[in-house]
A and B are shown apart, each in its own frame.
Chain A
Amino acid sequence: MVKRRNSNTLNRSQALLESRRCLGCHNPPCVDACPARVPIPDFIKRISEDNLHGASDLIYAACPLGHICGTACPTADLCEGSCVLLPLGETAVRIGALQAYATGMAEQPRRVEVTQGAPRVAVIGGGPAGLGAAVQLERLRMDVHLFERMKELGGQAGRVIPEHHLSQPVVDHDISRILAGNIQFHPDSDVDESLAAKVVSEYQAVILAIGQQANPDPGIPGGESQGVFHALDYLSRARSAQTREGTIPLLGTTVVVIGGGNVALDAAAVAKRNGAERVIVLYRRGLEEMPAWEYEYIEACALGVEFRWYSVVEMIMSENGVVTGVRIAHMRYSAEMRGGRRWVEPDPKKQPTHLDCDAVVLALGQSSEMNLLKELGIAEKKGLVAVEEGRFQTSNPKVFAAGEIRSGGSSIVGSMSSGMKAASEAHAWLVEQGIARG
């Protein structure tokens, strides 16, 4: 799932003052912390000199989703978290807000003409990874075709992240810049199992950036009851209702959210903001092991969302097929480590307890649609596309994987830069094969 953080907007006065706080470090740690390696001190210097177009050009060159990332990047965990002002006891330079400010003032990019007879490259998926790949291929003067199963580009950035974190105008700002270029956008084009082989045969290279949107069945008994929702479905419905100024569906009076990631906390926050009296997050480990960004947790607490730690739902209870509560097993840390984190086991001293509720939101992670990979004969590994460490080429040499289907959950900026790197690797391969000019 895409991670992000909230950020507010700066006016010109604030941006000028904030820009003067940047020391312009050598080998800046903020740039090292940025997956897109945005030249942060350089663009901030340009803001301080009233050269906003110079600033936004630098940002967009490194980060085609510059306005989205400036607004929604988890900056405290990336660039701002590495600011050298922090050890001085000062607050970090508000890099995200400055980036959002400069990119908000950007002029439309100049069109790069496609070279005659350039190789045709398909990008499947119009989320951050697919967009990053498409822009990079366009810059490398490829004939780029971007397939998106929905009408709109943006993927989870545009469909799932709550409006209060990332508003539609911010998403549209970057998408419209991208669409102003030479990328051939094919909306409503679901490249499913039946079409995939055709696309791979018709294009000279394919970037696979379909992300993770499948909801794996967590296998909790009672999961089929009425009143059980998948977090991504709920967030996506809420987002589209907000965008159209419609009403966000009320989940229930007491909502239980199962999971401890950003999706879980987003769903909890959206439910609490939209009518639920009580929202209780159940997470199998303790706060210190919760994967959600810290600001998501702070925000949820401020909204009055409750947390129950070391809690695993054993069963969803129902009457006449409608949810009435959950049975919770209480856990403790075991000696075992899984995926670098402490695993848990049932606490033998504690009996399972019951919690009444009228809605349950499942936020236990996403997975990729594997049928497509099977159809294309692409090797997979642990539910993701198998690639060599640091590489993007799949077992089908024409096909390159980018974003969450390659590496699992990521931030918008991480997925986008993964797409850009996959595109560069695909281009290098086309050159190597004598298909593209170097």
Chain B
Amino acid sequence: MVNLGVDFCGIRFKNPFILAASPSTDNREMTARGLERGWAGAVLKTTSLESEEVSITYPIMSGIHPGQGLVGLHNTDLLSERHIHEVAKDIAWLKSRFPEKRIIASLMGSTREEWHELVGISEQAGADMIEASISCPQGAELEGELTLGWMVSQDQHLTEKVTSWVVEGKRRAPVYVKLSPSVTDIVSIGKAVEQGGGDGICAIDCLEGIGGIDLGTLSPLPSVQGKGTRGGFSGRAIKPIGLRIVADLAGGVKIPISGVGGIYDWRDALEYLLLGATTVQVCTAVLQRGFGVIDPLLDGLSRWLEDHNYDSPAEVVGLALAQLTEHGELTHGVKVISSIDLDLCIGCGLCYVACADGGHMAIEFPADRRPLVQEGLCVGCGLCAQVCPVPDCIKII
């Protein structure tokens, strides 16, 4: 068994898997169960000073699930309705029970003084790290101004300013900043965190979205008494965005990154590590499947590392970045084509339809339902392999 221990911002974690700030970590008993189950640390649900009015409207969840499973979860949740002094008690309680696990306080303030106070209380309670939440899609308040519809982390200068406030407030606990993917240039935001003195970055927070429309009442989803609002979209579907943001940050900043966004199984987590994340955080998979998803995460990651002769997850951080390049740098002019394994083919014809109407009309589908790739027409775009319902049946070679 590989030792999965990793360092993030100078703090040792038993493994790279951290529970992200979410309803799962808004309750100390639940968080304790997660830590017992094997998670290396938990980011408690984002909290604020008592002066901050937080009132969640229910329901907060809608989702998209084509076919089996939940592809994405849309929520209109807010920060915790439990304020800093109450959460501080949880921090102390959890630290006393799990001294070897990492408890991270996720904070949201609106003025320098508020941030100092929040950080001070958290440190005093025993928090190992501070997460500065400046990326909540539900908006924030800055120096008394509501920033509804946009976030601190969408502005380079505000990001640097707020980061510096948080850092000023700390004595011991490293500070990392959670960033939104909804920006035009993530590297400039990452550099702003660095400039502000942040010890690390966590990316990505949810994407802003609208959950859908109830076609009976015309209310956006989730519907609260006939009305809905913008919210945050998370889950499997956002992984490619998260991977891209983490890779961009890894190439542009020096401080360590905790990767979040659509991690469901160990392969997702490993992909984040390979693109530069040091630890990963998981939220939606836990909301859907419970804390137990940690077992196959640990097992799968450990086996892959062992099979590939790595002694630690740290050894693979950023390994795939060397193969991430600009389009112009890719090898041009290599002919590949679609190859269909007729022993596996079930004769559904989906590859034929996709190629005929979205590809290059290169697949024939005769009466015997055996698709035939016309090598002269096939450019190897790969669409057929994506629409094929049978794993391994179509390969682009």
Residues of chain A touching chain B, judged by Cβ–Cβ distance below 8 Å, are 11-13, 16-17, 20-21, 24, 26, 42, 45-46, 48-51, 53-54
Contact = CB atoms under 8 A, between A and B. Distances in A.
21 contacts: A13-B391, A16-B392, A20-B68, A20-B69, A26-B290, A42-B295, A45-B296, A46-B296, A46-B300, A48-B265, A49-B267, A49-B296, A49-B300, A50-B267, A51-B266, A51-B296, A51-B300, A51-B303, A53-B303, A54-B296, A54-B303
A53 B299 CA distance: 10
A interface, by DSSP: helix, strand, loop or mixed?
Answer: helix
A12 B393 CA distance: 10
B289 A24 contact: yes
Interface in B270-297: 289-290, 295-296
B390 to A, nearest CB: 5
Given A49-B267, A51-B266, A54-B303, A16 B296 contact: no
B265 A49 contact: yes
Nearest to A45: B296
A13 B392 contact: yes
B344 interface: yes
Nearest to A43: B296
A49 B265 CA distance: 7
Contacts of A21: 68
A45 B264 CA distance: 11
**Interface size bucket, B side?**
10 to 19
Nearest to B302: A54
B17 to A, nearest CB: 15
B391 A12 contact: yes
Nearest to B68: A20
Contacts of A51: 266, 296, 299-300, 303
Given A13-B344, A20-B68, A42-B296, A49 B266 contact: yes
Contact of A13 (B69, B295, B390): B390
Nearest to A54: B299
Given A11-B344, A49-B267, A51-B296, A16 B303 contact: no
A124 B115 CA distance: 72
A12 B303 CA distance: 19
Nearest to B301: A51
Interface of B: 68-69, 265-267, 289-290, 295-296, 299-300, 303, 344, 389-393
Nearest to B265: A49
Contacts of B267: 49-50
Nearest to B289: A24
A48 B344 CA distance: 18
Nearest to A41: B292
Contacts of A46: 296, 299-300
Nearest to A46: B296
A358 B299 CA distance: 60
A12 B344 CA distance: 10
Contacts of A54: 296, 299-300, 303
A16 B344 CA distance: 13
Given A12-B392, A13-B344, A13-B390, 4 more contacts: A16-B392, A46-B300, A51-B266, A51-B296
Central interface residue in A11, A17, A42, A49, by most chain B CB within 10 Å: A49
Nearest to A50: B267
Nearest to A39: B295
Q: Closest 6 interchain pairs by CB?
A: A16-B391, A13-B391, A49-B265, A51-B300, A54-B299, A13-B392
Nearest to A49: B265
A51 B268 CA distance: 13
Contacts of A13: 344, 390-393
B7 to A, nearest CB: 26
B274 to A, nearest CB: 16
Contacts of A50: 267
Contacts of B266: 49, 51
A54 B307 CA distance: 12
B264 to A, nearest CB: 9
Central interface residue in B68, B267, B290, B299, by most chain A CB within 10 Å: B299
A13 B346 CA distance: 11
A42 B296 CA distance: 8
A78 B201 CA distance: 50
Contacts of B391: 12-13, 16-17
Central interface residue in B68, B267, B391, B393, by most chain A CB within 10 Å: B391
Contacts of B68: 20-21
A54 B304 CA distance: 10
Contacts of A16: 391-392
A357 B344 CA distance: 47
B382 to A, nearest CB: 18
A11 B69 CA distance: 23
B158 to A, nearest CB: 40
A42 B298 CA distance: 13
Contacts of B390: 13, 17
Contacts of A48: 265
Nearest to A19: B391
A13 B340 CA distance: 13
A50 B299 CA distance: 12
A126 B341 CA distance: 43
Contacts of B296: 42, 45-46, 49, 51, 54
B384 to A, nearest CB: 15
Contacts of B300: 46, 49, 51, 54
Nearest to B299: A54
Contacts of A53: 303
A357 to B, nearest CB: 45
A50 B392 CA distance: 12
A13 B394 CA distance: 11
A20 B69 CA distance: 9
A13 B265 CA distance: 19
A54 B300 CA distance: 7
A49 B270 CA distance: 12
Contacts of A20: 68-69
A24 B290 CA distance: 11
Contacts of A49: 265-267, 296, 300
Central interface residue in A11, A13, A20, A54, by most chain B CB within 10 Å: A13
A26 B291 CA distance: 12
B71 to A, nearest CB: 13
Nearest to B341: A13
A53 B265 CA distance: 15
A365 to B, nearest CB: 44
A53 B68 CA distance: 25
A251 to B, nearest CB: 39
A115 to B, nearest CB: 21
Nearest to B267: A49
A21 B267 CA distance: 19
A423 B237 CA distance: 48
Contacts of B299: 46, 51, 54
Contacts of A17: 389-391
Central interface residue in A21, A46, A50, A51, by most chain B CB within 10 Å: A51
A224 to B, nearest CB: 54
Contacts of A45: 296
A53 B300 CA distance: 9
A60 to B, nearest CB: 14
Nearest to B307: A53
A21 B391 CA distance: 14
